[in-house]
Amino acid sequence: MGMEGLLSPRVLCLLLWVQLCRGFVQLVGGDSPCSGRVEVHNGKTVCDSDFGPKAAEVVCRELQCGTALSVPGAARFGEGVGPMWDRELQCAGNESLLISCPRGSPRDQPCTHANAVGVTCAQYTGFRLVNGSTACEGRVEVQVLGTWGTLCASRWDLLDAHVLCRHLDCGFAESIPRGGHFGSGTGPVWRDSFHCEGTEAHLGQCPVTALGASPCSPENHAAVICSGHEAELSLCNTSLPESAAAAGIAEDVGVVCAGSRQVRLVKGPGCYAGRVEIYYQGSWGTVCDDGWDLSDAAIVCQQLGCGGAVEAVGSARFGEGSGQLWLDGVNCSGTEAALWDCPAGSWGQHDCAHKEDAGVVCSDFMALRLGNGSNCSGRLQVFYNGTWGSVCSNSMTLQTVSLACKELGCGDAGTLETRLPSGRVSGHTWLDRVECGERNSSFWQCPSAPWDPRSCDDLREETHITCSGRRPETALAVGTVCPNSTSCTDREKIRAVGGESGCSGRVEVWQRGSWGTVCDDSWDMQDAEVACRQLGCGPAVSALDEAAFGEGTGPIWLEQVECRGSEPSLQACWARPGDSGACRHKEDAAVQCSGDFVAAIQCIKEAYEKMERDFLPGPVVVGQEATVLK
Ligand SMILES: *[C@@H]1O[C@H](CO)[C@@H](O)[C@H](O)[C@H]1NC(C)=O
Ligand SMILES: *[C@@H]1O[C@H](CO)[C@@H](O)[C@H](O)[C@H]1NC(C)=O
Ligand SMILES: *[C@@H]1O[C@H](CO)[C@@H](O)[C@H](O)[C@H]1NC(C)=O
Ligand SMILES: *[C@@H]1O[C@H](CO)[C@@H](O)[C@H](O)[C@H]1NC(C)=O
């Protein structure tokens, strides 16, 4: 066998990238990817004496986790198992990748796993309640990258408040007083909206949006009165504390307790659009579309804190659910606090099938796409209040463009187009002055001017971008776009989740109205070849098992996939349906495809430059061949 076949420069580069650059550092053993024990270079534990606050800053930046909050040593996040990393990481603090940091010489004193270093990264570095008569009530102040400020209450609700109360060891939220009850602070006012489900450990774990938020009046600062810590124990009992019942929050409190009623939609960046699902008597079920209209949809949106309803969707346009059909003939008047308070047939009584499942689109539901363009290049458009509109380019920076590309699944870098047409824009122009900063890890968190359908009126002001990656999947399902529509191609019924560019990750396929995973039983290179081809990501580099890119949720659609390698799609390969229950998500299959090449080149270039700096002292004469790499 010739060497070329085995180690083409392309495959070699890619392997180098996978081994050295991507995933050089990981945080493990914490409660999120942004907190845990530091592991570098395939799982080597790092000693606390070799790793300082500057290295921690680089790690948090590389992992897109904000800033370093603490760097605990002494195995705070548990001890590792593998070998120890044996030299100091001497970062300046401004590197983009930990692998770029200079390293000291090997240590002569041994270091043990008991000295394993950890890092906790966060953009929110503190939460507190001020100006209340007890420690468990007051105005909500949030510390962002070291600066305390007051939180605006525009989307502050009881679920968010519960999370804060519990985090502060103050029980649950009894009420969220409005009207500047606890005065106003002197610091900045954060317009971040938290979208908590009520079960998160702290607000920093809830999805956050800030895009398009309106200025905050002093009467609109977030506040909460918590029950106090002793009330916590009785919270999930059927006999709720008197105060909780009186405050009318029994339903909301229920979210943190098993066995109560809940409502959910398919997750968006913060607010939602999707099939309505209700949790009742221990199982999730759907709602029939008979008589389903905007006033019913409005109750759902309001209940979720997602504004008004822009569309009541029927005929399982967001896919067919499974299990119970809980409600039929829902006829809300508009004053109800929850969907189940509306007049309707009794629970589980219906003459419907899942093909009639109801859905909603809420006004605060947001999505991003590139209009008028091909693949990962075009006019940046945002979906809000039921309408697509463009984004003005005032104050647009590369940081903002890169977060937009990331959100679109088009790689993590891009450029702003400069050759633009002139003339007037038609349609909505939703956003102006989107200013993403270092503290933002998603496009939706970036501050901007408030939503306004007339944000810019000249075509030259519209944002057109070109991203470095390729698009792995159609943007979030709005209306009948793929993969919901019956006219979708196989290409649109697969995605790679958890990688950076959409060309590697956990393999998920679309079936019967939802995304599900593939079991790793007999998952091999032939199967990966087919998946990579279907993804449009070139040849496969590796077939990975045991949830290498994390565990999925939802159904496991395929088990024991047996592709020959030449099939056009995974769906065309022989496989067992995954509903036998034989597999679990810890066996989710994943792929790495060669389409990650663009990112690989960038990393290798950085590594090469660093090697040149470190190992070739004195003036360097770079030959023709070498310059090619630069
Ligand atoms: C506390 O709240 C009161 C009103 O309830 C207000 O007069 C006072 O200025 C507030 N103090 C601070 C520090 O915000
Ligand atoms: C709920 O309260 C009842 C009576 O007050 C008690 O017997 C029961 O153990 C409690 N259940 C839980 C889960 O705390
Ligand atoms: C819905 O409720 C209204 C009263 O709020 C009533 O007039 C109407 O007939 C009801 N519709 C159905 C289909 O039951
Ligand atoms: C959203 O749409 C509704 C109804 O179409 C309209 O009344 C409201 O003003 C819109 N909101 C914005 C911010 O444009």
DSSP 281-326: TTEEEEEB-TT--HHHHHHHHHHTT---EEEEE-TTTT----S-EE
Cα 393 from Cα 412, distance rounded (Å):
19
**Average pLDDT of adjacent 10-residue blocks, the chain of 630 residues:** 42 58 76 80 83 90 78 85 83 82 76 87 85 93 86 87 89 84 87 83 82 86 84 45 39 43 62 81 86 93 86 84 88 88 88 89 86 77 89 88 84 77 79 85 88 85 80 39 52 78 84 85 92 80 89 88 84 82 90 69 63 49 33
Q: For residue 233, which atom of ligand 2 is closest to its CA?
A: 14
Which pLDDT score is estimated for 44? Answer: 84
Does any ligand 3 atom lie closer than 6 A to the CB of residue 333?
yes
* Pairwise CA distance, residues 3 & 261, whole Å: 62
Say if residues 343 and 331 touch (Cβ distance below 8 Å): yes
Cα(265)–Cα(446) distance, integer angstroms: 24
Q: What pLDDT score was predicted for residue 132?
A: 92
pLDDT at 520: 93
Coil, strand or helix: which one is 14?
helix
Contact 263, 278 (CB under 8 A): yes
Whether 318 contacts 484, CB under 8 Å: yes
pTM of the model: 0.61
Predicted pLDDT at 155: 84
Q: Using CA atoms, how far apart are residues 16 and 230, in angstroms rounded to an integer?
A: 55
Q: Dihedral (C-alpha) 541, 547, 548, 554: value to the nearest 10 degrees?
A: 80
User: In angstroms, what is the span from residue 227 Cα to ligand 2's centroid?
Assistant: 19
Q: Is the CB of 179 under 6 A from ligand 1?
A: no
Q: Are 498 and 434 in contact (CB under 8 A)?
A: no
77, two tokens: 């996040």
Which amino acid is present at 527? Answer: D
pLDDT at 133: 92
In contact, 338 and 377? CB cutoff 8 Å: no
At residue 213, φ and ψ (nearest 5 deg) are -70, 145
In the chain, the domains with their CATH numbers are: 21-122 (3.10.250.10), 124-232 (3.10.250.10), 260-362 (3.10.250.10), 367-467 (3.10.250.10), 490-596 (3.10.250.10)
Cα dihedral: 232, 234, 235, 239 (round 10): -160
Q: Packing angle between helix 9-16 and helix 597-615, nearest 10 degrees?
A: 70
Question: Is residue 585 classed as helix, strand or coil in its secondary structure?
Answer: helix
Per the CB < 8 A criterion, the answer to whether 40 and 24 are in contact is yes
Tell me which of 128, 131, 189 to substitute to probe ligand 1's pocket, judged by most ligand atoms within 8 Å of the beta carbon: 131
What number does the ligand 1 atom closest to the CA of 181 have?
A: 5
Task: Give the model's pLDDT for residue 433.
Answer: 93
Q: Which residue in this structure is represented by tokens 């088009």?
A: 410
- Pair of tokens at residue 350: 């219906």
Q: Give residue 183 CA to ligand 1 midpoint distance, Å.
A: 4
State residue 249's pLDDT score: 42
Q: How far apart are CA 58 and CA 387, in angstroms?
A: 39
> Which residues approach ligand 4 with their CB closer than 6 A?
363, 385, 451, 453
Best mutation site among 230, 237, 239, 257 for ligand 2 pocket (most ligand atoms within 8 Å of CB): 237
Q: Which atom of ligand 4 is nearest to the CA of 450?
A: 13
Residue 359 structure tokens? 């859905």
